[in-house]
Amino acid sequence: MDEIILINKPSAMTSFGVVARVRRILSQRQGKKVKVGHTGTLDPFATGLMIVLTGKRCREASTFSKLDKVYEAEIILGKISSTGDPEGEITEGALQKPSREDVDRVVGDFVGEIWQTPPIYSAIKIKGERAYKLARKGEQVEMPKRQVTIYSLEVIDYQYPSLEIRAHVSSGTYIRTLAEDIGKSLEVGAHCRQLRRTKVGSYSIEQAKTLDSLGIYS
């Protein structure tokens, strides 16, 4: 089996967990172990499009991982998370409520080439080990800055403290970091509460299947 399988990842599941379930059901059907891999990690709290490759298509993983992506996210202003998402320790930020004009101005400032410092709770490897594993051990983790491109950034809705955005970004962009940086620019702090990936290159979430529809929960 040399296939591209588009999966609509549910929340509260790791990308590794998705791959493991796909591998299990395909291996059962084939009567032998099937090679399965994915082309870009989604955080456990995140949902949406995952491209899963099987067999010889796994060799193309790096090509798929370099494709642009589109995300929809809900950012909560005035609340700071130790991990940048709802799974971390949440603390209070500033109490002021940014106006819609301020939000539009700040969001617009992030369009184009920008520098990001990826979150320490990420799958990036530092000296051969995943950054999140080092962080969980209590070790100091220094994340190198990287340049990414925000092709477009749209405010879908703003009802304080909830800010909903749609972002078309280059590979390597962290939406959690973008949410935190928007909060810092607004001087209130913020974290990403919900995240959904809707496109990878020309592949869309509308083309994806749920794990349930593939029989992977059976």
Q: Could you list the pLDDT tens digit for every one of the 218 residues in the chain?
A: 789 999 999 999 999 999 999 999 889 888 899 999 999 889 999 999 999 999 999 999 999 999 999 999 999 999 999 999 999 999 999 999 999 999 999 999 999 999 998 877 666 776 677 666 766 767 677 778 999 999 999 999 999 999 999 999 999 999 999 999 999 999 999 999 999 999 999 999 999 999 888 765 43
- Spot the catalytic one: 2, 43, 68, 104: 43
- In angstroms, rounded to a whole number, what is the distance separating the alpha carbons of residues 45 and 196? 9
Task: Give the chain's end-to-end CA distance (angstroms, integer).
Answer: 21
Query: pTM (2 decimals)?
Result: 0.90
Preceding peptide of 144 cis, ω within 30°: no
Please name each of the domains of the chain with its CATH number: 4-66+202-207 (no CATH), 69-200 (3.30.2350.10)
At a CB cut-off of 8 Å and minimum separation 6, what does 175 contact? Answer: 71, 73, 167, 169, 192, 195
Question: Which one-letter amino acid corresponds to residue 159?
Answer: Q
> Which pair of structure tokens corresponds to residue 158?
């703003």
212 is catalytic: no
Closest by CA to 5, choosing from 64, 85, 75, is 64
